[in-house]
Amino acid sequence: MMFKHKSFTAVLMGLAMAAVPAAAQSAATQTKAPQHAVSLADLQKDVAASAATRQANEAKIENFLSTPQAREAMKKAGINYEVVKQSVSQLSPDELASLAARADKAQMQFQAGALTNQQLTYIIIALATAVLIIVIFTA
């Protein structure tokens, strides 16, 4: 195969030459170091635990935002509940865990009387807005 640009050919040659020593070193490393494999059962457990945690966090946020008070607060702020609900599933596991923890904390403080209705309304609007902003900026 003939290339029109000598620089392209030079790049390909450089990559090929770099790959040979790397492959040889990789083969040498593999023969010296024992290989550790994770069992399929362990992988399945980890995936199941991760999925369960994610599902629980999504449920916490959805339960917090689906209350009549939360829906009314979002409606007054011009935030569409259905859009927020759909956006929750697009959050990363870390973002989801963080927002679920905040929702839990706010709910517990409200139930304990540490928050007023107005404060809870602000938290609801902030949480819903955070979900939307995170999804917009990570898309």
Mean pLDDT in residue range 8-18: 43
List the Cα angle 54/57/58 in 5-degree steps: 85
Q: Is residue 61 part of a domain?
A: yes
DSSP H or E segment with residue 137: helix 117-138
Burial of residue 100 (number of CB atoms within 10 Å: 0-12, 13-18, 19+): buried
Q: What is the pLDDT of residue 33?
A: 54
Mean pLDDT in residue range 32-61: 87
pLDDT level of residue 5 (50, 70, 90 thresholds): very low
- 21-31, pLDDT tens digit by residue? 444 455 555 55
96 is written with which tokens?
Answer: 């989801």
pLDDT level of residue 107 (50, 70, 90 thresholds): very high
Q: Is residue 5 part of a domain?
A: no
Into how many domains does the chain fold?
A: 1
Please say if the pLDDT value at position 20 is more than 90.
no
Which residue range is the domain that position 87 belongs to? 50-139
To the question of pTM greater than 0.85 for the whole model, the response is no
